[in-house]
Chains A and B, each alone.
Chain A
Amino acid sequence: MENSCDEDYRIQSFDMETQDLLKTTLKDPSSVDLKEVSKIIVDHSLKDRAFSKEAGHICCNIVQVEAQQTSSSVFRYNLLNCLQEQFEAREETRKRSVQEWVCYVTFICNIFDYLKVNNMPMLVLVNPVYDCLFRLAQADSLLNEEEVDCLVVQLHRIGEQLEKMNGQRMDKLFDLLRDGFLLQEGLSSMSRLLLLEILEFRAGGWSLSNSAHQYYYSEVAD
């Protein structure tokens, strides 16, 4: 049970004390300082790529447990405000460390994906997520494979949902991606590949045709 908890939530990268705190939170949220827990989670997600990819899962569960046990949403409230603080400081974060910036985008998209409100995505996150993706589509970011990779991964995961929430912005985003693909000098071939794939992916209604899938994902037989 303990082990699966670690794997499910990827909390192995936390120190033991924090792991215990998180496990306690999942069992008895009213016994911990949820504001502190939310801060710990957000801070850690900036440092740990693997965690940021799946942090939404543990957050979602904490929210559910808290709602069931105490009918409150303290954790979610604090988590979102923490997220907002980081969002407002994203440009500084990016300057300081592209990796942290990429982790942040991964994290916020993950939260958008997992944390639903009455079965709908949180409206308040839609524009901030778009803002992040737009930033990733800027010229200077396209030159970093890391950022391009992050961009396409997030679009794969939540692109369809995002488009439903705001189609216009998605259109504009893809205009940028087309421009980037066509005009951006200095793009690595990997970046071009990633961009081409996401263009086809969306054009196919957020899925790849069989032949395209073959092209991009099959092992190449020499």
Chain B
Amino acid sequence: MSFRHRSRHYDDRRTDDSRSNRGASRWSHCRKRGADGNLRPQDDPNFTVFDDAEKGVKSLRHPDSRPASFTTPESAGPVSRCADWGSEVEQEEIRSGVRRDMQRYRRRILAGDFNERERKTSSGSSDSRDSPIPAEMETDEVVLMRRQKQINYGKNTLAYDRYIQEVPKHLRQPGIHPRTPNKFKKYSRRSWDQQIKLWRVKLHAWDPPVQEGSDLQAIEEIDLDEIMEIESGTGNSVESGATVQCPKASKGSMTIPEDSCSGTPSKVMKTEAAFDLEMCLNEVEDSSKSLGL
């Protein structure tokens, strides 16, 4: 997919107000849990997982003159200002996970693991950025953490759980089965966000089936609201402080109620066509060389 406009820098945030502050969307109940891990109640307005991720960016606009992030001798990288320990540890977990993944990825590249798989999935794209040369790897932690959160967001769904149970890795076919975008590849912000969007859309094919007679069966369009929200860091922001806790977690059934998401594969395919997503998907398949799951 070619983009005429590249974001100026990786942390450029969208300021598209029409996309912020959405109410509950059709797909929000397909999410098992919210940003802080709380199981989500049925009528919870969707909130993004990016409030933590964007905190570093948000605080750039902080009124007082404190730096947005600081480095202490002990920390190996910038530390964003997290007010509470709970959120801070969530960040730590993602950060250390990202670092561990990076080491693993580097080792795999150096071991030449990728060569064969690359040849299989490549369809002759001339985009040189897609070759996994270590020098061209994405290493900016801020970016990697943001991407990891977006990935977690998608993996944190019943659809994903059902997908990985149904289709083991070795049976996956490119083009048909969604692949998690590879966070270590260099992509522009827009390109990445688009890949995530499309990955999430494809995953919806594995949403749990909906009961007969539910309103949601009457959808004509795929509701991309839920996916758009990924771009808006402002809407429905969850303050990491006190109020996030969801006492309804105690009701917490892991299973989504029967009358929630629709999205049988056939519906998804039809509506994809209506949106010309096929065209987008074809382009993405050409250029996307996701190597991770």
Contact = CB atoms under 8 A, between A and B. Distances in A.
Interface in A144-194: 165-166, 168
A124 B75 CA distance: 10
A73 B85 contact: no
Contacts of B73: 166, 168
Contacts of A72: 32-33, 37-39
Given A77-B36, A77-B89, A118 B100 contact: yes
Nearest to A78: B245
Contacts, number: 95
Given A30-B253, A34-B249, A118-B100, A124 B85 contact: yes
Contacts of B36: 74, 77
B89 to A, nearest CB: 5
Interface stretch (A51-59, A79-87, A202-210): A79-87
A31 B252 contact: yes
Interface string B58-101: 00000000000000011100000010111111101100110010
Contacts of A125: 85
Most chain A C-beta atoms within 10 Å of own C-beta, residue among B37, B75, B96, B254: B37
B192 to A, nearest CB: 23
Contacts of B82: 124
Contacts of B32: 70-72
Given A70-B252, A77-B36, A166 B247 contact: no
B96 A117 contact: yes
A120 interface: yes
A30 B249 contact: yes
A118 B96 contact: yes
Contacts of A126: 74
A212 interface: no
Nearest to A128: B85
A143 interface: no
Contacts of B254: 30, 69-70
B97 A118 contact: yes
Most chain A C-beta atoms within 10 Å of own C-beta, residue among B75, B84, B97, B100: B84
Contact of B89 (A33, A71, A122, A166): A122
Contacts of B252: 30-31, 70
Nearest to A35: B245
Contacts of A73: 37, 89-90, 93
Interface in B130-164: 156
Given A33-B249, A122-B89, A125-B85, 8 more contacts: A30-B252, A30-B253, A34-B250, A36-B247, A74-B33, A80-B85, A117-B96, A124-B88
9 contacts: A30-B253, A31-B250, A31-B252, A34-B250, A36-B247, A72-B33, A77-B90, A122-B92, A166-B73
Closest 7 CB pairs of A and B: A72-B37, A33-B250, A77-B86, A80-B85, A30-B252, A118-B96, A124-B88
